[in-house]
Structure 1
């Protein structure tokens, strides 16, 4: 199974997203967060992600005669590499992007259903912007984003911090046909 086939399944994508932000979770904690996923299904998906090296066992402890594992995300394994991206067909890219956007939509729906949403207070936003950039300017922009993101990705849980999920999509605008 390819990385894209493993990662872009709707339930496995939610599992991976639950671990973002350097979180360590047991399957019991994960089940509490993904309470709409049947336990048997959740355990199968966690096992598949662990077998693929996407989740790693960070700790084990004995609980009432069984072993409880705490998992962490192997960040490098939790992405589709450039070589695999280059071999994907347009249809596979379309399915991958559909899984990505469906996951965002489901996360947003869960946010709205979780209580009284206050997008301003919670810092929720969704925007589309356009920029005119040469390839060199775009590379500089991508480096600037990395400069902004990297130090904050190293933040761990702490008093006053909320876990926030930030999703990026960068697309070239369609070009006009010649003529």
Structure 2
């Protein structure tokens, strides 16, 4: 199954998003993070992602006669690499972008439906900026953003820390 088809399934996309922060998890822990997904469905989709090499097994241990595996997103394999994106048709891009924005909407809905929220105090932001950039300037900006985000990956949960999703979209703005 192609990476795009793997990731465009809504349950698999949510599993990958739940593991984006680098915190490994067992399937049982993923069920705690995503309680609306049925256990059989979770186990099936985690196995599909692991078989495809998108998730890697960090640890295996026996628990009540079964093998419990701890997973994380495979660090050496980007979910959708440059070659994958280049091979995508316009319709593939449309489907992927729809899944991406649908995931954002779902995350935002869960945030708003949760405990009392204060978007200002919680650091919620959504904005657009129109920039006039050459291809080289855009590449430099994206490299700077990747470096800033990468430098903050791997932070551990702790006092005063909140898991935050940071998303970026860049595209030409046609008049």
TM range (shorter): over 0.9
Any conservation in 2 of the 1:19–1:73 contact (CA below 8 Å)?
Answer: yes
Find out whether 1:81 has 2:81 as its counterpart.
yes
Q: Partner residue of 2:102?
A: 102
1:51-88: CA deviation from partner (whole Å, max 9, x where unpaired) = 01111111112111111111111134342122221221
Shift, 1:147, TM fit: 2.9
How many pairs were matched up?
175
Q: Partner residue of 2:65?
A: 65
Mapped to 2, the partners of 1:145 and 1:28 lie a distance apart of: 34
TM norm structure 1 = 0.92
RMSD, aligned CA: 1.4
Mapped to 2, the partners of 1:110 and 1:161 lie a distance apart of: 19
- Which residues in structure 2 correspond to 1:35-74 (within 5 Å)? 35-74=35-74
Q: Partner residue of 1:90?
A: 90
Moved over 6 A (4+): none
Q: Partner residue of 1:8?
A: 8
Any conservation in 2 of the 1:7–1:78 contact (CA below 8 Å)?
Answer: no
Any conservation in 2 of the 1:16–1:78 contact (CA below 8 Å)?
Answer: no
Any conservation in 2 of the 1:18–1:30 contact (CA below 8 Å)?
Answer: yes
1:23-75: CA deviation from partner (whole Å, max 9, x where unpaired) = 11011110011111111111110000000111111111211111111111113
Question: Based on CA coordinates, which of the two structures has the bigger radius of gyration?
Answer: 1
Mapped to 1, the partners of 2:89 and 2:48 lie a distance apart of: 24
Mapped to 2, the partners of 1:150 and 1:92 lie a distance apart of: 27
Q: Partner residue of 1:34?
A: 34
Give 3-state SS (helix, strand or coil) of 2:23's partner. coil
TM norm structure 2 = 0.93
Mapped to 2, the partners of 1:143 and 1:78 lie a distance apart of: 16
Shift, 1:21, TM fit: 1.6
Structure with the largest fraction of helix: 1
Any conservation in 2 of the 1:53–1:74 contact (CA below 8 Å)?
Answer: yes
